[in-house]
Amino acid sequence: MELKRVVVTGLGALTPIGNDVETTWKNAVEGVSGAGPITHFDCSKFKTQFACEVKDFNPAEKFDRKQARTLDLYAMYALTAANQAIEDAKLDDENLDKNRIGVIFAAGIGGLHTFEEEAGYFALHGQEQGPKYNPYFIPKMISDIAAGHISIEHEFRGPNFGTVSACASSNTALIDAFNLVRLGQADAIVTGGAEAAIFPAGVGGFNSMKALSTRNDDPKSASRPFSGSRDGFVMGEGAAALVLEELEHAKARGAHIYAEVAGGGMSADAHHITATHPDGLGAVLVMENALKDAGMKPEEIDYINLHGTSTPLGDISEEKAIKKVFGKHAYDMNLSSTKSMTGHLLGAAGAAEAVLSVMAINDGIVPPTINHEDGDNDPEIDYNLNFTFNKAQKRDINAVLSNTFGFGGHNAAIIFKKYKD
């Protein structure tokens, strides 16, 4: 069976550094941090009191009251980004066969805020009033519901589901979408991820694991991947979406093509529920699998959008894995962690980084890893590698590999390349 070629024809983004793709990309190139004091709840008693929140998002401007009652914030973010990508791709066309357009959308946690509200109400009043749960509790909370809402709104009746693999969830969704399109089971799939976990249970839970930065005195510089003084990740939120489409289908309708999806890989660390393998074994395997699937040599990759969360152990294991996979070529590539600006969007991270990777190919610019200070080095990290510290760099980019690693040892990497007819 001959596999179809798959291209990117639409992009959408709602992130801590921009409420659309253009603004997000502009701020990423300029090295703007999305971090600031938490506004979603009173965090004065929490160890971490800052995050990378979405700004100026008013649900009432996008959803009527009836619709808003059925949506957790994460699903609102998902619909917003997906609608941008669908509009960008001009996919909402009645002349298209909507039986062959699908939606695969990720969330690592899903409706955490809804769960927190409902469980909290029952804890306070349940013994007196009995179990008075909101009838929308379950459909608002479940992590697959964003895909359902997107398909319902646009009447897309193709493959439809959500993916959950912690912080690798979005890349898993992208790879699933890529595979279904290249196998001919859909003409196009709207894919990506969304997350909205900056609430007491999310922040408190990650604080208890000592996973979050506690740099409360200077939030904007707290996410500092690959720097010696890094002390944990900065939680982010938002959503991003891409339309993946079969090449001939896209050409036949005159769609704009941003890039081609070259391949994807998955693996497991099989090591620990939260810590990456110290030698990066799972990370090595996932990058090798992605390259093999794409039929590409390591020397063909120009830029890696790193998982790079700014955690003490994770950054080291990813650096080790890159040197093992790419050898001498590792020193010729650009590497950067855009989480230094967006924070860690958890289940939406891979989608946001995929959008930035595609834009990097289109504009020939590598966004920076911000917040690195001269001399703030980790003796276990090789600074001869080009981490694109603090300032974006121009270069011709033919191919980008984007890494995501999640709790449970889930790894997913995807490769985008410049489209050539």
CA distance 216 to 238: 22
Strand partners, 258: none
167 is a catalytic site residue: yes
- 106: nearest Cα among 163, 146, 147: 163
> CB under 8 Å to 62, separation ≥6 — which residues?
76, 79, 80
- Name the burial class of residue 136, with classes exposed (0-12), middle (13-18) and buried (19+) by CB atoms within 10 angstroms of its CB: middle
Q: Count other C-beta atoms under 10 Å from residue 130's C-beta.
A: 9
What's the Cα-to-Cα distance from 190 to each of 7, 157, 312, 386, 412, rounded to whole Å?
Answer: 12, 12, 35, 33, 18
Marked catalytic residue, from 249, 344, 372, 410: 344
CA distance 10 to 34: 24
CA distance 309 to 317: 11
Q: Give the type of residue at 359.
A: M
410 is a catalytic site residue: no
Marked catalytic residue, from 40, 52, 167, 372: 167
CA distance 176 to 308: 23
The three-state secondary structure class of 314 is helix
- 312: nearest Cα among 178, 194, 200, 210: 210
- 162: nearest Cα among 47, 49, 239: 239
- 187: nearest Cα among 245, 129, 269: 245
Run of H or E including 319: helix 312-326
**Opening angle at CA 289, ends 397 and 272, nearest 5:** 115
The three-state secondary structure class of 263 is strand
Q: Nearest 10 degrees: CA dihedral of 381, 384, 389, 394?
A: -140
277 is a catalytic site residue: no
Marked catalytic residue, from 154, 277, 307, 410: 307
Catalytic amino acids? 167, 307, 344
